[in-house]
Structure 1
Amino acid sequence: MLGLGAGGAAKSPKQPSFVSYLTPEEIIVKGKEQPEKTDDVPLLPGELLLCEANTVLKCSQEEGSQRGVYGKLICTNLKVAFLCEETPDDSLPEFRNKIAGENDITLQCVDQLYGVYDDKKKVLITAPVVKKYPERLIIYCKDFRVFHFCLSYTKEEEVKRIVSGIIHHVLSPKRLKRLFLFSYAAIVPRYIARDQTLMFETINDWQTELERTKGKLNYKVSSANKGYKESMRFPQYFIIPVSLPEDGMFKFQGKGIPIWCWSCQNGSALLKMASLPKDVDDATVQEQKTFLDSVEKALHRPPYEEVRVEDLSVSLPSLPEIQMAYGRFKQLFLIDNSTDFWDTDLKWFSLLETSNWLEIIRQCLKKAIQVIEHLEEQKINVVLKEDTGSDLCCVISSLVQIMMDPHYRTKHGFQSLVQKEWVMGGHAFLDRCNHLRKNDNEAPVFLLFLDCVWQVVQQYPLAFEFSETYLTVLSDSINIPIFSTFFFNSPYQKDEHQWVEEGPGAQKEPVRFYTAWDWSVQFEVKALSFLTNPLYTEKLKQERSIKKAPRSKHQRQLSLPLTQSKPSNKKGFFRDETGPFIKNLLGKRISKLISASDDVPSNYRAFYENWHQKPVDFHGLILPCVDGPEIRIWAQRHLRWIPEAQVLGGGNMATMQRILELTDEIQSLKKKVKESPTSLPQYSKVNEADSRRKKSVRRSSLYPFAMLHVSSFRPSISTTTWQSWDGEDDLVNREDEFIDSEELGLL
Structure 2
Amino acid sequence: MNIQKKKVTENQTFKSYVNFESGQESKVNTTTNTNDTGISTCRPSTSSSTDENDFSDDMYLGNLSVILPPNGKNREDIVDLQPKLLPGEAIVRQANNVLKFNNMSNHKTGISGALICTNFKLSFVTLEDYPSNLRLRNLLLQENDICLMNIESVYQVVNGRRKKVVSPVNISGAVEVVEIHCKDLRVYTFSFKFCSRSEPKDLLYAILHHHCPSLAQLLFAFDYCGVKEVKSVHPTSSKYTMIQDWEMELKRCGCSSWRVSLWNESFNVCDSLPEAFVVPPEIFGKDVSKLSPLYNGQRFPIWSWGMPHGNVLIRSSAVYDPQNLSRKLTEAIKKAIPQHGGLHFLNLDNVCPSVRDIQSSYSKLQEICKPENVHSYWKLESTYLSSIESTHWFHHLSACLNISLKIAECMSIRKDSVVITELGGRDLSCVISSLVQILLDPFCRTQHGFECLVQKEWVALGHPFQERLGQIKVEEVHQSPVFLLFLDCMWQILQQFPSKFEFTETYLTNLWDTVHISCFGTFLFNCHRERINVCSKQYDSRRLHSSWDWSLQFTKQDMILFKNPLYILSAQENENHPRPWSLACDGPWNSRNRPFTPAKKMEEKENTLLELDPSVTRMQLWTQCYLRWVPMAQVVGGGLPVVYLQNAVIWDEICTLEKLLLSLPEPANLRYRRVASDNNLFRSEGDNSCGVKHDSHIVTSAFPYSPIGPFDCQHFHRVPSSSCLLVDVVGTDQELDE
TM alignment of 1:170-181, pairs within 5 A: 170=211, 173-181=213-221
Match of 1:423 in 2: 459
Could you say if the C-alpha distance between residues 216 and 228 of structure 1 is closer, same or farther in structure 2, counting changes exceeding 3 Å? same
Could you say if the C-alpha distance between residues 439 and 710 of structure 1 is closer, same or farther in structure 2, counting changes exceeding 3 Å? closer
Any gaps of 5 or more consecutive residues in structure 2? 1-13, 15-79, 578-601, 688-694, 725-738
Decide whether the 8 Å contact of 2:82 with 2:125 is kept in 1.
Answer: no
**Mapped pair 1:642 → 2:630:** yes
Any gaps of 5 or more consecutive residues in structure 1? 4-37, 279-284, 502-507, 547-613, 716-731
Decide whether the 8 Å contact of 2:220 with 2:518 is kept in 1.
Answer: yes
Between Structure 1 and Structure 2, the one with more helix by share is: 1
Could you say if the C-alpha distance between residues 740 and 195 of structure 1 is closer, same or farther in structure 2, counting changes exceeding 3 Å? farther
**Mapped pair 1:70 → 2:112:** yes
Match of 2:271 in 1: 232
- Alpha-carbon separation, structure 1, partners of 2:426 and 2:153: 28
Could you say if the C-alpha distance between residues 535 and 615 of structure 1 is closer, same or farther in structure 2, counting changes exceeding 3 Å? farther
- Alpha-carbon separation, structure 2, partners of 1:136 and 1:455: 39
- Alpha-carbon separation, structure 1, partners of 2:576 and 2:232: 33
Match of 2:9 in 1: none
Match of 2:647 in 1: 659
CA-CA distance at 1:122 after TM superposition: 1.9
**Residue of 173, 184, 200 corresponding to 1:132:** 173
Deviation track 1:6-34 (CA, whole Å, cap 9, x = no partner) reads: xxxxxxxxxxxxxxxxxxxxxxxxxxxxx
- Alpha-carbon separation, structure 2, partners of 1:651 and 1:276: 47
Match of 2:701 in 1: 701
**Residue of 190, 199, 206 corresponding to 2:230:** 190
Tell me the SS of whatever aligns to 1:249: helix
Match of 2:523 in 1: 486
TM alignment of 1:718-729, pairs within 5 A: none
- Alpha-carbon separation, structure 2, partners of 1:81 and 1:178: 19
Could you say if the C-alpha distance between residues 259 and 691 of structure 1 is closer, same or farther in structure 2, counting changes exceeding 3 Å? closer
Decide whether the 8 Å contact of 2:637 with 2:723 is kept in 1.
Answer: no
Amino acid at match of 1:344: L
Could you say if the C-alpha distance between residues 668 and 740 of structure 1 is closer, same or farther in structure 2, counting changes exceeding 3 Å? same
- Alpha-carbon separation, structure 1, partners of 2:181 and 2:676: 49
CA-CA distance at 1:414 after TM superposition: 0.6
CA-CA distance at 1:49 after TM superposition: 0.7
TM alignment of 1:27-38, pairs within 5 A: none
Match of 2:311 in 1: 268
Match of 1:338 in 2: 374
Match of 2:256 in 1: 216
CA-CA distance at 1:638 after TM superposition: 0.6
- Alpha-carbon separation, structure 2, partners of 1:240 and 1:689: 49
Tell me the SS of whatever aligns to 2:645: helix
Deviation track 1:344-381 (CA, whole Å, cap 9, x = no partner) reads: 11222222111111101111111111212321233221
Match of 2:300 in 1: 257
TM-score, with structure 1 as normaliser: 0.74
Decide whether the 8 Å contact of 2:487 with 2:508 is kept in 1.
Answer: yes
TM alignment of 1:557-706, pairs within 5 A: 620-664=608-652, 692-693=685-686, 698-706=698-706
Name the % identity: 31
Deviation track 1:371-406 (CA, whole Å, cap 9, x = no partner) reads: 123212332211000122111111111100100111
Amino acid at match of 1:699: V
Could you say if the C-alpha distance between residues 149 and 416 of structure 1 is closer, same or farther in structure 2, counting changes exceeding 3 Å? same
Deviation track 1:422-475 (CA, whole Å, cap 9, x = no partner) reads: 111111111111100222121111111111111101110101011010101001
Amino acid at match of 1:259: I
- Alpha-carbon separation, structure 1, partners of 2:358 and 2:523: 19
Deviation track 1:471-500 (CA, whole Å, cap 9, x = no partner) reads: 010011111111111111111211222234
Match of 2:568 in 1: 537
Decide whether the 8 Å contact of 2:155 with 2:164 is kept in 1.
Answer: yes
Tell me the SS of whatever aligns to 1:437: coil
Tell me the SS of whatever aligns to 2:178: strand
Match of 2:83 in 1: 41
Could you say if the C-alpha distance between residues 95 and 61 of structure 1 is closer, same or farther in structure 2, counting changes exceeding 3 Å? closer
Deviation track 1:689-724 (CA, whole Å, cap 9, x = no partner) reads: 986545998211111011699946569xxxxxxxxx
Match of 1:456 in 2: 493
Deviation track 1:315-367 (CA, whole Å, cap 9, x = no partner) reads: 22221111111111111111222222111112222221111111011111111
Could you say if the C-alpha distance between residues 515 and 139 of structure 1 is closer, same or farther in structure 2, counting changes exceeding 3 Å? same
Match of 1:515 in 2: 546
Match of 2:334 in 1: 300
Tell me the SS of whatever aligns to 1:47: coil
Tell me the SS of whatever aligns to 2:225: helix
Deviation track 1:115-174 (CA, whole Å, cap 9, x = no partner) reads: 211222222231347341332111111111111112112222212222232233335x52
Amino acid at match of 2:164: V
Match of 1:369 in 2: 405
- Alpha-carbon separation, structure 2, partners of 1:48 and 1:93: 27
Moved more, 514-523 or 697-706: 697-706
Could you say if the C-alpha distance between residues 690 and 368 of structure 1 is closer, same or farther in structure 2, counting changes exceeding 3 Å? closer
- Alpha-carbon separation, structure 2, partners of 1:689 and 1:362: 36
Deviation track 1:79-115 (CA, whole Å, cap 9, x = no partner) reads: 11111122253x5322111112321111121122112
Match of 2:163 in 1: 122
- Alpha-carbon separation, structure 2, partners of 1:513 and 1:349: 44
- Alpha-carbon separation, structure 2, partners of 1:86 and 1:668: 42
CA-CA distance at 1:509 after TM superposition: 5.7
Decide whether the 8 Å contact of 2:112 with 2:126 is kept in 1.
Answer: yes
Match of 1:12 in 2: none
Could you say if the C-alpha distance between residues 616 and 648 of structure 1 is closer, same or farther in structure 2, counting changes exceeding 3 Å? farther
Match of 2:559 in 1: 528
Match of 1:13 in 2: none
TM-score, with structure 2 as normaliser: 0.75
Decide whether the 8 Å contact of 2:347 with 2:422 is kept in 1.
Answer: yes
Could you say if the C-alpha distance between residues 385 and 338 of structure 1 is closer, same or farther in structure 2, counting changes exceeding 3 Å? same
Decide whether the 8 Å contact of 1:185 with 1:511 is kept in 2.
Answer: no
**Residue of 429, 435, 438 corresponding to 2:471:** 435
Could you say if the C-alpha distance between residues 524 and 619 of structure 1 is closer, same or farther in structure 2, counting changes exceeding 3 Å? farther
Tell me the SS of whatever aligns to 1:52: strand
Could you say if the C-alpha distance between residues 379 and 64 of structure 1 is closer, same or farther in structure 2, counting changes exceeding 3 Å? closer
- Alpha-carbon separation, structure 2, partners of 1:113 and 1:500: 35
Could you say if the C-alpha distance between residues 160 and 678 of structure 1 is closer, same or farther in structure 2, counting changes exceeding 3 Å? farther
Could you say if the C-alpha distance between residues 391 and 250 of structure 1 is closer, same or farther in structure 2, counting changes exceeding 3 Å? farther
Decide whether the 8 Å contact of 2:233 with 2:550 is kept in 1.
Answer: no
Could you say if the C-alpha distance between residues 544 and 192 of structure 1 is closer, same or farther in structure 2, counting changes exceeding 3 Å? closer
- Alpha-carbon separation, structure 2, partners of 1:515 and 1:374: 35
- Alpha-carbon separation, structure 1, partners of 2:681 and 2:244: 49
Could you say if the C-alpha distance between residues 175 and 697 of structure 1 is closer, same or farther in structure 2, counting changes exceeding 3 Å? closer
Match of 1:576 in 2: none
Decide whether the 8 Å contact of 1:648 with 1:741 is kept in 2.
Answer: no
Amino acid at match of 2:647: I
CA-CA distance at 1:267 after TM superposition: 2.3
- Alpha-carbon separation, structure 2, partners of 1:300 and 1:356: 38
**Mapped pair 1:313 → 2:301:** no
Amino acid at match of 2:502: E
Match of 2:734 in 1: none
Could you say if the C-alpha distance between residues 683 and 247 of structure 1 is closer, same or farther in structure 2, counting changes exceeding 3 Å? closer
**Structure with greater contact order relative to length (CA < 8 Å, sep ≥ 6):** 1
